[in-house]
Structure 1
């Protein structure tokens, strides 16, 4: 069987940890699907714009191999792993994904979507309309996933964090607030929301504080277990002062961004 991509998805999620685990749970992850020209896809798109949602069938292009079991973000009680066919794991015998995204508009061969959980550059294999009458079964049993209900943490941010995140977003393609929402809002029944085995994360369980690494930035937060809430306090650079002052190799090409970030917020007393 030969499968040929019909287009490519483009969005802000570059690394696997940037993308939400389920797009619908995290609105504000927009992107676009650009279909390949010269295939009469313009005609194939006819009548699709009246649908609010579409199914996107895609390729997990950055994965190699598969695993018979997987450890989901929130495992069922008493278990650490579940069978791959009982999960949404991207490591599958055939690296094919299925995502239901919100269709915003269509312009030519470009489909603008939201609530996407795809990485930038994902090959798109097919598109189908989401039809509630045929596709929605709200009373269907969901196996072990039903045990996850209610284990969602509220994420709030301080004025300082909001200002810093806004500055970073204006000067780069990074969105640290969105990343924190993805990483910290859904808990783990067995090891709670701050399971450091899955994230670049350190937690002080006595002080109820933590630091979450996003690339070369650090997100400082506090949390309240009884209220199931996280407060994002501030952002700091992952580089030391010596790193930024030295002429050492700029491996990630972002030291100027960090220098300007520190200069901006040192002047306001925010770092």
Structure 2
């Protein structure tokens, strides 16, 4: 169950409304790096979390926080759209308005939501949930969450560098700080699960049953058959501590793919059957 007290998680202030920046902020709401993505990712991970209930609590708590971030950003989008032209014809003589409408403002914010935020990215593309990763494996989910918060923090930093608005910069510094915490909390959760020793994920599959000669081999696929460029990943103990990195060139197998003839009535050409 969720509750609301009708108050923003952190104050949102826009000193100089900017319709172009409103469009940029939409990426932080409905983009693949945005708050809808992480809110839904943590929510569905929590709903499917089995085992120690503290991980479910961690995920659901953070999902609730991310819903608050959506509210903050939606408020910021609406405030940045204050003063945006409602009629193109009335504004044709004003260069600033033409620049805002033709060169930046997301017309969906005008035409579909009346100068309000929408669950879309900066190009007006709706978020479709295709980037929600909830595997049912807690270690895999924590790893995905680290990446999600890393890309989210990168986006917030880019937005911060795009604006000189004092209010917007203050809000973004708050969001950047929360992304710092979330990266660290997912890393801490992964550490409780064994850290690097949790890999390979899932750890429930017996490694002895896999093709172990390929488990820690860095393979090169250069056309001239040369060895791949060396790195930490090609020599020394593996990161999970369960093997030793090697490097080599993969030799193709003798098998040539041959699917045989097409079945009759399959829609193929006569020459295929």
**TM-score, normalised relative to structure 1:** 0.25
Structure with bigger strand share is 1
**TM-score, normalised relative to structure 2:** 0.25
Structure with bigger helix share is 2
Which structure is larger by alpha-carbon Rg, 1 or 2? 2
